[in-house]
Amino acid sequence: MISSLASSYKIIDNHAHYTKLLLDLTLARANSGSKMTKRIVDISLTFVAGMRGVEMNQHTTIAKEGFNTTMLHLYSHAGTHMDAPRHFLQEGKTIENIRLEKCIGPALVVDLSHAAPNSLLHVDDLSHIANKIGVGTRLLLRTDWDTHAELDDYRTHMPRISADLATWLVEKGVILIGLETPSVASLRPENKSELTEVHQILLRAEMVIVESLADLRALTQEVVEFIALPLKLDQRDGSPVRAIAIEDVQ
């Protein structure tokens, strides 16, 4: 079972204490004698001007003001992003109140790249790894759908989670789910009830949802260290994130 390492992370806002924590971790690894190295894999989409919900405008230039800056206009669910409960629950937690220890830790990578376009994923699709899923598990569902990110069907024909699978994940105690699709549920207008139902099942349980991941096929291990942190936006329903996976390499 892939359990949470929440107890290993003390989330604090004091820079001095945070620096000491990092130093302690570094010294512990150095003294362990381990020959393992870390491989960092970027599993985020690149934000580019013109993608849905993204505008980037040159604000100042070196030639005129002496320095470059850019004005960013970002939709809260643009690119690789995280849903807060407020996204579908009016009284749900907002993004700055997401428990950060859920966003950092071991994650089980599940290969569902065989899933057909526009298909619903059910409990049976995860039956082969059901014994590895329990309270505190983080799941990354690989569908390779990020290869459609610039195609017309990216938001209309993705494989997605069914209500029965969403309920099962909550009952198992999963704390985070990451997907290579732009939503956990259908974004087609005629499936609005499905979109609402699946999101609400997961978000009522305060499961962290990370959508529009990319390149999970680049991962070589079944379990990776996962990190995806949202911007600290006051009273907002979601946020873009930079998501990475870390693998141990001999």
114-136 pLDDT per residue, tens: 999 999 999 999 999 999 999 99
Residue 193 neighbours by CB distance under 10 Å:
11
Beta pairing, strands 138-142 & 104-111? parallel
59-117 pLDDT per residue, tens: 999 999 999 999 999 999 999 999 999 999 999 999 999 999 999 999 999 999 999 99
**Paired residues of 208 in beta bridges:** 176
38-51 pLDDT per residue, tens: 999 999 999 999 99
Active site residues: 87
**Distance, CA of 71 to chain centre:** 25
**For range 17-42, the mean pLDDT:** 65
pLDDT of 143 > 70? The answer is yes
pLDDT, position 29? 57
Residue 56: exposure state from Cβ atoms within 10 A (0-12, 13-18, ≥19): middle
205-238 pLDDT per residue, tens: 999 999 999 999 999 999 999 999 999 999 999 9
Contacts of residue 150, defined as CB under 8 A and 6 or more positions apart, other chains included, come to: none
**Paired residues of 211 in beta bridges:** 81
Residue type at 120?
L
pLDDT, position 31? 61
Domain boundaries, the chain: 6-23+33-45+80-249
pLDDT, position 151? 96
pLDDT, position 7? 37
Contacts of residue 192, defined as CB under 8 A and 6 or more positions apart, other chains included, come to: none
Which CATH architecture is the domain 6-23+33-45+80-249 placed in? 3-Layer(bba) Sandwich (3.50)
pLDDT, position 5? 39
* CA–CA distance, 26 with 206 (Å, rounded to integer): 32
pLDDT, position 249? 86
Name the residue among 58, 210, 67, 181 with its Cα closest to residue 120.
181
